[in-house]
Amino acid sequence: MTDHNDVSGDSPVTTRRGVRSFVLRQGRMTEGQKKAYERSWPKYGLTREQGMIDPRQVFGRDNMLNLEIGFGMGQSLADMAEAAPEQDFIGVEVHLPGVGALLKEIEDRGLENVRIYAIDANDVIDLCLPDAALDRVMVFFPDPWPKKRHHKRRLIQHEFVQRLRHKLRVGGILHLATDWENYAEYMMEIMTESEGFANTQERGQYSPRPDDRPITKFEKRGETLGHGVWDLVFYRTN
């Protein structure tokens, strides 16, 4: 593994100061995750040090490009990539066990249409992705930070949404999902007020779960307990 592609080196997880939307709880990779990481990070990993990428060079083609922010253990991202081999996917996750788990899924399924950043999504947006490069951005089940005093830590904020907007092509989709009703209401308020976005549903209405968003084990468990899930699907208008 080269130093250039080694996320465990001196390169910080984020270059941004101030309030963060995540708490770095790395934990330990399993032996399988660690081996997959060692084998496959040089091929599938992307770094801040590479600077602004050209997705056509990264994937060797010019196809629909998706970005998932906070892919967790990577199961749903791997499911989407396997179901749509004609599309390309970039995943962002700061927790290395999740990175290792997705790399193992990539190996096991023989996926060639996935690349990974293991840094703060803010740095990916600001330093790594060209404007109008994305067809879809997905943020599924982000940390809800339920206490009111912690709402400033929530990832979905006006400023963040506007930075995402510039990375989407006109007509591109921003798809959010949460199982916290208060966060769903909060995100709906943010998105409804956001310049340059329009709801794919009637104003203030949530979307049915799109067929291409996999149902996670976590989500299934929540449904069994009677928890709701809210999808918000907006598109860039200008």
Tell me the pLDDT tens digit for each residue of 20-56.
Answer: 555 666 678 999 999 999 999 999 999 999 999 999 9
Whether 143 contacts 179, CB under 8 Å: no
Res 2 pLDDT > 60 = no
Identify which of 29, 201, 221 has the alpha carbon closest to the alpha carbon of residue 118: 29
Angle, vertex CA 102, rays to CA 229 and CA 88, nearest 5: 80
Neighbours of 15 (CB within 10 A): 13
- How does the average pLDDT of the chain come out, rounded? 91
Q: Respond yes or no: is residue 143 known to be catalytic.
A: yes
Neighbours of 159 (CB within 10 A): 7
Give the pLDDT confidence score for residue 8 in this predicted structure.
45
Distance CA 120, CA 140 (A): 16
Kindly report which listed range (55-69, 104-118, 140-154) carries the lowest average pLDDT score.
140-154
Q: Which residues of 34-52 are buried (b: 16+ CB within 10 A; e: fewer)?
A: bebbeebbeebbbbbeeee
CA distances 26 to 29, 65, 111, 179, 229, Å, are 8, 28, 25, 24, 27
210 DSSP 8-state letter: P
**Percent with pLDDT over 70 in the chain:** 91
Distance CA 127, CA 122 (A): 8
Give the pLDDT confidence score for residue 225 in this predicted structure.
81
Res 59 pLDDT > 80 = yes
User: 57 pLDDT band (50/70/90 cuts)?
Assistant: very high
Could you say which of 126, 135, 143, 212 is catalytic?
143
Two tokens, residue 68: 């998932």
In the predicted model, what is the mean pLDDT of residues 192-219?
94
Distance CA 125, CA 112 (A): 22
Res 65 pLDDT > 70 = yes
SS3 content of the chain, % helix, strand, coil (to 5): 40, 20, 40
Distance CA 233, CA 198 (A): 9
Two tokens, residue 197: 């976005």
CA distances 7 to 42, 97, 130, 176, Å, are 10, 12, 22, 27
User: 164 pLDDT band (50/70/90 cuts)?
Assistant: very high
In the predicted model, what is the mean pLDDT of residues 71-83?
97
Res 92 pLDDT > 60 = yes
User: 222 pLDDT band (50/70/90 cuts)?
Assistant: confident
